[in-house]
Amino acid sequence: MTTTKKVTTKKAPQRKTAAPKHIGLVQNDGYLEPFEEAIRGRHDHAVWKINQLTRKGKITLESFASGYDYFGLHKTARGWVFREWAPNATEIYLVGDFNNWEENEKYKAKRIAGTGNWELKLPNKAMKHGDLYKMHVRWNGGEGERIPAWAQRVVQDENTKIFSAQVWNPEKPYEWKRKTFRPDKNPLLIYECHIGMGQDAEKVGTYREFQEKVLPRVIKDGYNCIQIMAIQEHPYYGSFGYHVSSFFAASSRFGTPEELKELIDTAHRNGIAVIMDIVHSHAVKNEVEGLGNLAGDPNQFFYAGGMHEHPAWDSLCFDYGKDEVIHFLLSNCKYWLKEFHFDGFRFDGVTSMLYYSHGLGEAFTNYGDYFNGGQDDNAICYLTLANKLIHEVNKNAITIAEEVSGMPGLAAKFEDGGFGFDYRMAMNIPDYWIKTIKEQSDENWKPSSIFWEVKNRRPDEKTISYCESHDQALVGDKTIIFRLIDADMYWHFAKKDINGVAERGIALHKMIRLVTASAINGGYLNFMGNEFGHPEWIDFPREGNGWSYKYARRQWNLVDNPDLCYHWLGDFDREMLKVIKSQKNFQKTPVQEIWHNDGDQVLAFMRGDLVFVFNFSPTQSFSDYGFLVPTGSYDVVLNTDAKEFGGFGFADDSITHFTNFDPLYVEDRKEWLKLYIPARSAVVLKKN
């Protein structure tokens, strides 16, 4: 009998298959998991485009974005060279002061074989600094004079109002005094401003006037960044700079490029970062001054068909799917960083770029609204590339997205599937304040709602908080101070004649600013003049107001007048920023709620060693109102009710407040801090 030995085969241990790792954006917000494929798709699209533009890393994105060095008019060792991208053109001539504005063969450009680019080389004597010029372009079926798309200097004739490009090659180019600068972001305190309306006189202000008269105020007030509007050349002054015609030209109505550079250099030497409002969301429709029809093809830079025009802004929408357009816009970002030493950008109209609908009529009530196929993937890719480029050029640069829909990931890292902005505007906050002031009586202001609103943000995205910007100051709208006081500002804003309406407005103006600024997680923004409650609105010269400059200026004389109430608000703003900066890395310090009671209308929270206490009740003051805080002693460092800020001075802020022992909270190392908090006031205390 033969026996067979049973052979037992051991099975290899089964490895557990690890669950696929979520992309960072989804890791940080599990509610985005159903849309992870779309998020990865957007990220992969950007990676693919970067590889395409950089030839799989053979060059850098920064090298790719150097179009301004190639296109446009440049002086070289051998003479002048002019280049333009105009694939639909059949002939291009330069006409100007140097040839009596007449076409001739000497100034005729040649098409570079196999491209849509044109080139003209001229001797040194062919033109000189200051000469005006344009292109005369011919195409099949038409012709016209045009300003080159890459022109770096454009001026307007005071009499004819006609714009022309200008040869700019000064004998002594500006020499930077401070060649490197690193912005202070701890926290970022932004003073949003407009050069032209930055002076008291009823006229267009200049870069030099701003440097000499406004910049010192910004420095004194404690802001560490200015955000300048309307830098890119725009034909219509009243557009506030948002209908751009020449994207590489600093607006000449404010002065020369050297004067803008001197302003930025001076700011840097005083520790002030300078960012600009950059408009890549649309372009002015003008054909002679702008890109609307550069060479007979209205779609050269812009989408065709129904996406060509913006339905609400009367402007043209860039085609972000064209490599040439991406090249133009990315080069524009690099140009302002390298040539003018700007420290970054606030991107205007991002919502309009993200959606085929431009966000018009959209409710955006759930995450599905951000991933439903109504998004422009080309624009999303461009914005992502822009952020990659900007931080490649300057790792310390600042990028801010002005975006109202709440698109997740805007200010998240590129590696996490985000767009790569450093900050996004907290646009919910000014909307909340306007709605509250308009619709709620003072007795119904709820601290719980206020606290939630000023802290409502994605934990993985930094924001710029603000109470109001230029939008709330434009004609047809009202600033916070004007909504609170209205016409009484004209008659009762002198200290000797102040009334109850003005007192209420002054008190709430300070409290609104303090609760907004004290809850930031990135930065805080104020529009020029709003810190001291600038009266009235902003209305640029137009036919409807007789082309008046009366409201397109800032009346600094008001805040400088010790007999008026404005300086109370200006002084408070300065001290508020000083308190915020006294806490190291304030914007990173957790906001810890201590207490809120909607019935009492009282709110209290801590950030580091600072305790913020608000009593929004218009009538009820409280004695010995108690809060549990870390054991110790506390001194008042700011009080909205102080007499030097236009308050009543009801509390004695000179005394040190000691916490009171409670055996129930020994293990928590907390005791009761008891305060007198007058109605409609706020106080900040610092732990010793």
Contact (Cβ atoms closer than 8 angstroms) between residue 554 and residue 479:
no
Q: How many CB atoms lie within 10 A of CB 208?
A: 16
Report which secondary-structure segment, H or E, holds 159: none
Summary count for the chain: helices (H), strands (E): 17, 30
**CB neighbour list of residue 83: distance below 8 Å, 6 or more residues apart:** 70, 71, 72, 117, 118, 119, 120, 150
* 415 φ/ψ sector (left φ>0, alpha ψ -120 to 50, else beta): alpha
452, amino acid identity: W
Q: How many CB atoms lie within 10 A of CB 221?
A: 20
**Which among 241, 235, 250 is positioned nearest to 288, based on CA atoms?**
235
Angle at Cα 92 formed by Cα 89 and Cα 97, nearest 5°? 150
Torsion angle of the four alpha carbons 159, 164, 170, 174, in this order, in degrees rounded to the nearest 10 = 90
**Residues listed for the chain:** 688
Q: How many CB atoms lie within 10 A of CB 84?
A: 25
Report which secondary-structure segment, H or E, holds 59: none
Phi, psi of 170, rounded to the nearest 5 degrees: -60, 150
Report which secondary-structure segment, H or E, holds 520: none
Q: How many CB atoms lie within 10 A of CB 10?
A: 5
* Coil, strand or helix at 494: strand
Distances (CA, A) of 17 to 14, 20, 24: 9, 9, 20
Query: Which position has the token pair 């490009």?
Result: 165
Radius of gyration of the chain (CA): 29
Contact (Cβ atoms closer than 8 angstroms) between residue 32 and residue 363:
no
Task: Please pick, among 192, 402, 416, 468, the residue that the annotation labels catalytic.
Answer: 402
Query: What is d(CA 419, CA 436) in angstroms, rounded to the nearest whole number?
Result: 32
**What DSSP line would sit under 85-137, residue for residue?**
E-TTEEEEEEEEGGGTT---GGGB-EEPTTSSEEEEEE-GGG--TT-EEEEEE
377 is catalytic: no
Query: What is d(CA 131, CA 94) in angstroms, rounded to the nearest whole number?
Result: 12
Name the token pair of 133: 């010029």
348 is catalytic: yes
Query: What is d(CA 686, CA 688) in angstroms, rounded to the nearest whole number?
Result: 6
Q: How far is CA 147 from the centre of its chain?
A: 28
Beta pairing class for 132-139 and 142-146: antiparallel
Task: Please pick, among 209, 233, 319, 348, the residue that the annotation labels catalytic.
Answer: 348
> Is the bond preceding residue 298 a cis peptide, omega within 30 degrees?
no
Q: How many CB atoms lie within 10 A of CB 643?
A: 11
Listing from the earlier edge strand, what are the strands of the sheet with 309-310?
Answer: 283-284, 315-316, 309-310
DSSP letter at 22 equals P
Query: Which position has the token pair 């009499």?
Result: 159
Sign of the CA dihedral with 616 first, then 618, 619, and 621 last: positive
Q: How many CB atoms lie within 10 A of CB 376?
A: 21
DSSP letter at 163 equals E
Query: What is d(CA 105, CA 83) in angstroms, rounded to the nearest whole number?
Result: 16
Annotated catalytic sites, by residue?
348, 402
